[in-house]
Amino acid sequence: MEFVDYYKILEIDKGASEADIKKAYRRLARKFHPDLNPGNKEAEEKFKKINEANEVLSDPEKRKKYDQYGKDWQHAEEFEKAGRTRASRSGQSGQRAYSGHFGEEDFSDFFSSMFGGGQRGYSGGSSGGVKYKGSDYKAELHLSLSEVYSSKKHTLTINGKNIRITVPAGVEDGQTIKIRGYGGEGVNGGPKGDLYITFMVRNDTDFMREGNHLYSNVELGLYTAILGGEIVVPTFEGKVKLKVPPGTQPDTKIRLKGKGFPVYKKEGEFGDLIISYRIKIPTKLSEVEKELFTELSKLNHDGK
């Protein structure tokens, strides 16, 4: 277990006064508070450390023990035994008062070895039998674009518990859904928190997705573009035959209605597939081809 330098965490000297500690804590807490840095795990970790450092250094008794035994914290156990009788003067319940951030599991092992189970530094928190909702959990589910083309069941493991959910077809990358009652346990028998699942959708296809529409590029031979013809193009659900009119220009866009991505929670509704034609100009011409193209260019009045 590593020694934790609480003074370093709060960026203060060992001789810092109570006011200095409070000031340093406020300054760093404002910078790294999870409510001000949503989704930033680094800030959350930093805030936990700042909180722990403040928990120890702002309490004269704990600070004294830390200063005395800090580096040899293994011996603190003996100190603990001797001083057990004067413990728990503060009478803080250590119980979570809200569905927000930290419980005692958020304190470092170092803290637990020195001071026992974690206690929150808040003066409030008398439980009084009031029921409160448990904390909300957040999870990410990584899926491929092919997987979200149709509704599928997935099993997630959240805090050691298996949860089977049906992911509706058409979920977006970054979309979050809420599952009621799958969060942390409530306080005093209050309702459980909720589970928020964010879907991270990776594109494993050649199609580009934007909302419910799909985009793809289709290569068109020079002669088909000029003379017209029939081509077969891939869609998400198989191939379709398309008629290409003579004189098709590069970058022409064709919209295939209903061949795009399923619309979220609207069964049977699909977006469109938009195809862009890329015309392939031959790079290596045979002598005969060169002659024929030269002939053709001569037929053209401006020679272009």
Partner 1 sequence: MENSSLIAIDAFCSFHNVDISFVSSIQEQDLITIVFVEETGFIQEEKLPLLEKIVRLYKELEINPEGIGVVLHLLDRIDFLQKENQSLKRRLSRLESLEGNL
Shortest distance, position 51 Cβ to partner 1, whole Å:
9
Residue 98 engages partner 1 in binding (rule: CB under 8 A):
yes
Does position 99 interact with partner 1 (CB under 8 A)? The reply is: yes
Binding flag, residue 208, partner 1 (CB under 8 A): yes
Q: How far is the CB of 210 from partner 1 (least distance, A)?
A: 6
For position 101 contacting partner 1 by CB under 8 A, the verdict is yes
Residue recorded with tokens 């409160």: 132
Chain centre to alpha carbon of residue 65: 40
Contact (CB, 8 A) for 266 and 211: no
Q: How far is CA 55 from CA 47, 121, 171, 244, in A?
A: 12, 6, 43, 73
Q: Work out whether 91 is an interface residue with partner 1 (CB under 8 A).
A: no
Q: Which residues of 222-233 are buried (b: 16+ CB within 10 A; e: fewer)?
A: eebbeeebebeb
Which of 15, 38, 160, 189 is in the footprint of partner 1 by CB under 8 A? 38
- In the set 173, 196, 242, 264, which binds partner 1 (CB under 8 A)? 173
Please answer whether residues 217 and 208 qualify as being in contact, where contact means their C-beta atoms are separated by less than 8 angstroms. no
Choose between 35 and 105: whose C-beta lies nearer to partner 1: 35
Q: State the binding string over 4-33 for partner 1 (x if CB under 8 A, else -).
A: ----------------------x--xx--x
The nearest distance, CB 152 to partner 1, in angstroms, is: 22
What 8-state DSSP symbol labels residue 38?
T
Beta strands in 120-184 (DSSP E): 137-144, 152-158, 161-167, 176-179
For partner 1, give the closer residue by CB, 98 or 223. 98
How many helical (H) and strand (E) elements, i.e. helices and strands, does the chain have? 8, 11
Is residue 217 close enough to count as binding partner 1 by CB under 8 A? yes
Q: Which residues bind partner 1 (CB under 8 A)?
A: 26, 29-30, 33, 35-36, 38, 97-101, 122-128, 130, 132-133, 136, 173-174, 208-210, 215, 217, 276, 278
